[in-house]
Structure 1
């Protein structure tokens, strides 16, 4: 099976988008502080990534499914961390 170039572009874009919140997550875990992180931003991001995930299910596109499922997990983790460490100084 030959994978088209556009699939590689889509997969790379999805991976880069999915890992974009990792630096923030690592910082919050390391510092155990999240007062400067907006939980609303991650809730909106979760809604968008959830919509992309559903879209990937509808069109049966594995790169969209995988990268957005991973993004949703990271969004949920960041929301949890935000509430866990929001009042730590």
Structure 2
């Protein structure tokens, strides 16, 4: 799987792109300078194939690298962070 995760500020989402195109996204909003991750969606044809985890990692890695303030309300990402405590430091609020 050749995957690329990139921020699409115009759509307010991080997108995971595979060779075939858009495979999923993490939607966000900006509140008082904080990125709030609100929803994760993966195309049904990619469910169970690690695309959601790759998307979560790519999103959280980029936010950590940028030093953004982050709050997570998305249930999928909350569970992902519980299972991968190395990402707890990315979340600065909530």
Give the TM bin, normalised by the shorter chain: 0.3 to 0.5
Q: Determine which structure has the larger strand proportion and give its number.
A: 2
**Larger radius of gyration, structure 1 or 2?**
1
TM-score by length of 1: 0.36
Q: Determine which structure has the larger helix proportion and give its number.
A: 1
TM-score by length of 2: 0.34
Q: Does 1 or 2 have the higher relative contact order (CA < 8 Å, sep 6+)?
A: 1
